[in-house]
A and B are shown apart, each in its own frame.
Chain A
C-alpha cells in the first residue's frame, strides 16, 4: 500500500542549516562539488539499467578527476581535440557499406522521437550515407503540440516510421508507480525507448541499429566512448529480476492487476536472439562529431523543425527535449533527488559544446534551475491519478489514488536528500549550488 505523503511526519531536524554530516540518499557522494569547467555537480547519476531500478538502488555518479573536471568535459575535450573525425567518418562509411541493401529491404533502424538529434541521424544516414532507414518511435507520455508537428515533419521529409504508443492505462500506472517509488516520472518512457529498437530490429530483421549521441557525452564513464556499440545491458536481460516503476513483475501482476501482455513493451529483448541475429547497436556520435545545436540547425533547414514556442520551465532553452509534457517533471525530480535541474543539464552541455561560457552557464542556472514546472502541471497530475473507475485493482494499492499539487509537493519531500536540501524560514533551499551556498 502506498501511503498518502500528506500524512508524513517529516523530521525537519535532518534538514537544518550547518549539520556536520547530513544523511545522504541514493548512495550519492556526501560532499557536493561542481565541475571546474562546466556546471554539473558530482551528484549526477550515470545512466541506470532502468529495468533493475528500485527503491534500494544505489547510484553510480559522474567521475571527477583530481582537478575537478568531470568525465563529460573530458569527452568534450577529445571531441574538440584528439579524435580523428575523418578516420571515424571512414569507419562509418565502411560500416554502412557492410549493411547497405538494395533489394527493397530496410538496412538500418533509427530510433527517435523526431527531435533534432534523431532527425539529424536519420537524415544523414539516408541522404549522406545512402542508407535505407526505418525509423521507429516510442511515443512520449503526452506529446506537446510542437513535438507532434516535428515528428510529422520528420516523416514527411522522407522516412518510414513505426510509432509504438503504449497502452495509456498501463503507461499511466507505471508512471505513477515510478513517481511514487523512485520519483522518476520519465522512467516508463526510458524503458520503452531503450527496449523498442532492438526488438523492432528482430521483428523486421534489420540487424543494424543506430542511435544518435553517446550517453557518455553527458557523464557516463569516459571508457564508454571507446566503442561505438551500445552496451547490451541497457536493453537485454532476463525477466527474473526485472522491475518496472520500481515494482517487481510479480507485484505488478499480483497487486496491480496487470497481465503479461501489458508488460511486454517494457521488457528487454531476448539477449540470445540478439546474439543469433548479430544485432549491432551503434552510436552515430562515435562517428560524427555530435553537436546538439548543429543538429537543431540541420533539422530546421532540412525538415522545417520548429523550436518550442516558449522556453522549457526550469531552463532557458527551447530546442532540445521538447516533445513530451512530462519532461518538465523529469527535470524537476532530478533537482529534487540530486540537486540538478534542467538549466544545469542544458548549460553543462552548451558549455562543453562551446556555445556558451561557464559564467553564462552559472547565470542561467541561478535564474532558472529552481523553477517549478507550472505549465502542464494540472494535466500531469490528472495523468498520474488512478481513479477507481479506470484502475479498479491498482487504485486500491494507493491510500490516495488521485494526485494533485499538494500530494505531489508532499511526495517531493520524501525524496529530498538531507545532504542536498535544507529547510529554513519556511522554504526549501539547496545547500550548495554552482552559484554559491545557501
Chain B
C-alpha cells in the first residue's frame, strides 16, 4: 500500500495566512510562520505555501515568508503563486523551497514546465490545477487567478499534457469544494490520478477524516492537502493521523 502524505496547505496574502471558501471571501488567519511551525511540530509531512493573490495583484511576495519558515521548519516546502520565470524558481529554491507550484505561467506558456524540469528536475515542478466542475456536467475546467479566470482547458487533459511536459507532481484543488468542509471532489481527483502517472495531491473540501479516507481510497491520490480543518482548529494533525492509521491508511507514524 502506498504511503499517503499529509500536507498543511497555507494560502498566503502577504503578510498573512488567509483562508476563503470556494477561493473567495478571503479571511486573515494569522502569521504564516507561526502556523507553519505549529504544523511542522504537529507532524505535517509537507507544507505548501500558495500566494493565491499573486496573479490577482501581479506581485510575488512569498520570498521573505519562505526564508523565515525554513529557519525552523524541516519538511519539504512547496511554494506557488506568481512563479513566472526560471529566475523566480531559482530564487524560491535558494530561499529554501523544495518545490514550486505553477498554474498561470504554465497556462500562458506550457513549455515553461519543460524548461523548469530540465534545469531543476521534474521532482521540483508541481503543476497546480484549480478545477471547477462544468455546469453542463462535462468534466472540469481549469482556472487561474484563484478560481477567477477561465482557461477553457479540460482539467484532466491539461494534467496529462503537463506530465508529458515534465511536471513531477500535481496538486488539484476543487474550486467547488474548497473551504466548504463538504469533502473532496473525489471524481475529479480520481480522473486526474488516472490520467497522470505522477503523484497527485488532493486539495479542497476536507472537513473530516472520512473525507480523507474516501479521497485516498476512491480518488487514488498520494497526498492530501488540508487547510480549513487545521487553521480553524477543527482537528489536529495527530488526531487526523491516528484516525487515518486506524482506518488502515498508510501514513507516516510520528513518535509522540
Contacts and interface: CB of A to CB of B under 8 A. Distances in A.
A80 interface: no
A319 B175 CA distance: 13
A145 interface: yes
Contacts of A146: 135
Contact of A296 (B21, B23, B59, B145): B21
A293 B27 contact: yes
Contacts, number: 55
30 contacts: A146-B135, A293-B25, A297-B25, A300-B21, A300-B22, A300-B179, A301-B180, A306-B176, A307-B23, A309-B132, A309-B135, A309-B175, A310-B150, A311-B145, A311-B149, A316-B56, A316-B148, A317-B24, A318-B22, A318-B147, A318-B148, A319-B25, A355-B26, A360-B13, A360-B53, A363-B57, A363-B58, A364-B56, A367-B56, A367-B57
Interface string A314-350: 0011110000000000000000000000000000000
Interface of A: 145-146, 293, 296-297, 300-301, 306-307, 309-311, 316-319, 355-356, 360, 363-364, 367
Given A310-B150, A318-B148, A367-B58, A296 B24 contact: yes
Contacts of B150: 310
Contacts of B57: 360, 363-364, 367
A311 B143 CA distance: 11
Contacts of A367: 56-58
A307 B24 contact: yes
Given A307-B23, A318-B24, 15 more contacts: A293-B25, A296-B24, A296-B25, A300-B22, A306-B22, A309-B132, A309-B175, A310-B143, A311-B149, A317-B24, A360-B13, A360-B53, A363-B58, A367-B56, A367-B58
Nearest to B134: A309
B27 A355 contact: yes
* Centre residue among A296, A306, A309 by max chain B CB count within 10 A: A309
A7 B174 CA distance: 50
Q: Which 10 A-B pairs have the closest CB atoms?
A: A311-B148, A307-B22, A293-B25, A307-B24, A296-B25, A319-B24, A363-B57, A300-B21, A318-B24, A319-B25
Interface residues of B, number: 25
Contacts of B132: 309
A297 B21 contact: yes
A318 B179 CA distance: 15
A360 B54 CA distance: 11
A106 to B, nearest CB: 31
Contacts of B147: 318
Contacts of A296: 21, 24-25
Contacts of A316: 56, 148
* Centre residue among B13, B21, B145 by max chain A CB count within 10 A: B21
Contacts of A364: 56-57
A356 B27 CA distance: 9
A151 B176 CA distance: 18
Contacts of A293: 25, 27
A151 to B, nearest CB: 15
B59 to A, nearest CB: 8
Nearest to B175: A309
Nearest to B145: A311
Contacts of B26: 355-356
Nearest to B59: A363
Contacts of B59: 363
A90 B131 CA distance: 45
* Centre residue among B22, B27, B176 by max chain A CB count within 10 A: B22
A111 to B, nearest CB: 23
Contacts of B58: 363, 367
Interface string B64-78: 000000000000000
A145 B135 contact: yes
Interface in B16-34: 21-27
Contacts of A307: 21-25
A355 B26 CA distance: 7
A411 B45 CA distance: 60
A310 B24 contact: no
Contacts of B179: 300
Contact of A310 (B27, B53, B148): B148
Contacts of A301: 180
Contacts of B23: 307
B166 to A, nearest CB: 29
B175 to A, nearest CB: 8
A364 B150 CA distance: 18
Contacts of B13: 360
Nearest to A360: B57
A344 B210 CA distance: 42
A381 to B, nearest CB: 22
Interface in B165-184: 175-176, 179-180
Contacts of A360: 13, 53, 57
A360 B27 CA distance: 14
Interface in B153-171: none
* Centre residue among A307, A319, A356 by max chain B CB count within 10 A: A307
A69 to B, nearest CB: 23
A296 B179 CA distance: 12
A355 B53 CA distance: 13
A356 B175 CA distance: 21
A84 to B, nearest CB: 25
A109 B109 CA distance: 53
Nearest to A300: B21
* Centre residue among B24, B135, B179 by max chain A CB count within 10 A: B24
A364 B145 CA distance: 13
B206 to A, nearest CB: 15
Contacts of B25: 293, 296-297, 307, 319, 355
A311 B21 CA distance: 14
Interface string B25-66: 111000000000000000000000000010011110000000
Nearest to A363: B57
